[in-house]
Structure formats: structure tokens, C-alpha cells
């Protein structure tokens, strides 16, 4: 029987669901766990089916490549990769292009590929500027401890730091050491730098894990208040080190925000909407004055 005066309900069609594959460098640090959390939160908001995989460690480039090839042979609408080795990316980038799968990188830039993450060169420039505010305007020797040279995030941070330091007369970078984003390696490289260059008073470390290794070495040598350390990332134990005056400044890299921005950018691309390329997250200064606020977050 007909229902006189009834109002027919409108059918609300669900938003189109996409499947997005994401391959991170690893899942062994607070940064990458935060990236995954951001990806998951945004995927739920935007009705995205999410597949997040990673290599065992940031230097496991071949393992990561196998994971990427497997994903490209599955049913995904888009691919996001944080490459362990940017120089071994051409083949899977070509496969994605051939299959018509939109391809993005996160944390690491690859030529002609849409990028999501930090402006890493500017991070280095900012680090140099912060160090120059901390130390007197005289001759100063500085050093860099950086991650894997197959990852241009670290290369660009180091390049930005060198450029920033070169703008001050009498300042120079006297040592650059590779620690592959490893705590123990950074610990050893810090001791090596100080032994070979005892006049170093400024140290730029391009990731949180390496920053913690450098801090432990400086503490053992009794130099935590003599050698001024600038770090990168937004990791609680490194923020605590700033609060405790074991490090001077951190330039934040918010993994959670990066994960959210990645999904937002990919969905725009899949919907045929304009999106920023590069899509940069904001990087903030974490100092003794605001470290407690970040720890409360």
C-alpha cells in the first residue's frame, strides 16, 4: 500500500574508495611509526584502503625494492614510497608509469616524481642559522653527521647547512661523517670527529636516532655543554634532551603530519583535483622554551 505524504529518503552514494600502497624506509623509529599513524588516520577520513609496508631497516634497499615490485603487481590505485636508495628507483618508477599508477615519494625526492615531505635543504640552512645565533660571531669549526648517502633528504640537509655556514666569515665545516641513521654509528663518528678536530663547537646531526648517539658520545666526553648540537625530527627522547640542555635546538619533522598530507595529496590526484608539488609540511623549531609543550603533545 502506498504511503501518502511520506518523504522518500535520498540515497547517499559512498565516496569512491581507493587502494593506496605505501612503502616506508623502515618501521624502527618513532618518526616512521608517526608517519604510519598519520597515514591511517587520513585513510579512514578519506575512505582509502591502505596498505603500509616497509623494509626491515633504512639501508635495506634491495628488500624494499622487492616489496615495491610486489605492490605494483597487486591492485592499487596509487603508490607512495620513501626510498631507501633514490638511485635505485628508475625501474619501479617506470613500471608505475607504464601501468598508469600515480606515483609519489615521501621524505625523498626523485626527479619528475611528485614529492611529499620536508624542504630538506631549508632544514639545513635553518640549522646553520640557529647555530650562528648560539655561538659568538667569531671563527667557528663545525661538523655534520648525516645518514645514508643514497637518501637525498640527508644530502640536501647537509648541503643546506654548508651553504648557511659559508655565509658567515670565519665559519667552516671541517668534518662530515656518514652514520646511516644508526645510533651506534653516530656515537662512534662523534668521538672520531672530536678526536680529529678538537676545536669543533657546532654539530649538525640529520636525524633523531643519530642525534641521540651523538649526545651520548658528547656526554661521555664531558662536552655536552661545549659542543652545541642541532638535530632534526620530532622524537620524544631527543626533545627531552633539548629540555635537559643536552642538545640546543631540534628542527621538527612531524611524521604524523607527513602521513596525513600524503593521503590528502594522493586523493586529490586520484580525483583529478589540483595538488601541490612539492607538498611541504611545516618544520618548526623545538627549543628549551617550548620543549615541554611538544612533550605534552
Question: How many Cα atoms occupy the beta-carbon half-sphere of 71 within 13 Å?
Answer: 29
How confident is the model over 249-269, as a mean pLDDT? Answer: 97
> pLDDT value at position 16?
63
pLDDT higher than 90, residue 15? no
pLDDT higher than 90, residue 114? yes
pLDDT higher than 60, residue 1? no
What's the farthest any 2 CA atoms get from each other in the chain?
A: 93
Rounded CA separation 179/187 (Å): 9
Q: What is the mean pLDDT of the chain?
A: 93
pLDDT higher than 50, residue 7? no
Burial of 37 (0-12, 13-18, 19+ CB in 10 A): middle
pLDDT higher than 90, residue 119? yes
0.85 exceeded by the pTM? yes
User: Which stretches of the chain are assigned E, i.e. beta strand?
Assistant: 18-24, 48-54, 78-81, 103-106, 114-117, 140-146, 171-178, 200-205, 228-232, 249-251, 279-280, 285-286
Question: In Å, what is the CA distance from 277 to each residue of 111, 115, 272?
Answer: 12, 6, 14
How is the beta sheet containing 171-178 ordered, strand by strand?
A: 171-178, 140-146, 200-205, 228-232, 249-251, 285-286
Rounded CA separation 45/226 (Å): 47
How confident is the model over 291-295, as a mean pLDDT? Answer: 94
Q: Who wins on pLDDT, 217 or 58?
A: 217
Q: Mind listing the pLDDT tens digit for each residue in 54-112?
A: 999 988 999 999 999 999 999 999 999 999 999 999 999 999 999 999 999 999 999 89
Amino acid at each position: 500500500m502506498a504511503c501518502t505524504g511520506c518523504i522518500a529518503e535520498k540515497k547517499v552514494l559512498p565516496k569512491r574508495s581507493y587502494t593506496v600502497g605505501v612503502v616506508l624506509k623502515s618501521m624502527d623509529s618513532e618518526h616512521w611509526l608517526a608517519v604510519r599513524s598519520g597515514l591511517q588516520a587520513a585513510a579512514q577520513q578519506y575512505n582509502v584502503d591502505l596498505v603500509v609496508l616497509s623494509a626491515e631497516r633504512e639501508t635495506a634497499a634491495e628488500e624494499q625494492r622487492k616489496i615495491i615490485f610486489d605492490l605494483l603487481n597487486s591492485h592499487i590505485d596509487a603508490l607512495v614510497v620513501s626510498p631507501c636508495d633514490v638511485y635505485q628507483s628508475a625501474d619501479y618508477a617506470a613500471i608505475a608509469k607504464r601501468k598508469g599508477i600515480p606515483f609519489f615519494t615521501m621524505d625523498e625526492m626523485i626527479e619528475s616524481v611528485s614529492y611529499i615531505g620536508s624542504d630538506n635543504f631549508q632544514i639545513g640552512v635553518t640549522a646553520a642559522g640557529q647555530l650562528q645565533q648560539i655561538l659568538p660571531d667569531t671563527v667557528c669549526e663545525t661538523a655534520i653527521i648525516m645518514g645514508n648517502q643514497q637518501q637525498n633528504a640527508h644530502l640536501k640537509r647537509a648541503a643546506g647547512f654548508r651553504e648557511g655556514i659559508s655565509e658567515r666569515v670565519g665559519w667552516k665545516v671541517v668534518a662530515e661523517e656518514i652514520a646511516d641513521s644508526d645510533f651506534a654509528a653516530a656515537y662512534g663518528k662523534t668521538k672520531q670527529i672530536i678526536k680529529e678536530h678538537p676545536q669543533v663547537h657546532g654539530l649538525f646531526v640529520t636525524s633523531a636516532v643519530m642525534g641521540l648517539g651523538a649526545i651520548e658520545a658528547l656526554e661521555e666526553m664531558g662536552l655536552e655543554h661545549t659542543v652545541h648540537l642541532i638535530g632534526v625530527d620530532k622524537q620524544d627522547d631527543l626533545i627531552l634532551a633539548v629540555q635537559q640542555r643536552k642538545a640546543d635546538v631540534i628542527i621538527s619533522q612531524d611524521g604524523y603530519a607527513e602521513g596525513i598530507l600524503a593521503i590528502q595529496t594522493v586523493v586529490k590526484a586520484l580525483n583529478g583535483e589540483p595538488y601541490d608539488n612539492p607538498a611541504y609540511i611545516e618544520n618548526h623549531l623545538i627549543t628549551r622554551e617550548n620543549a615541554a609543550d611538544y612533550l605534552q603533545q
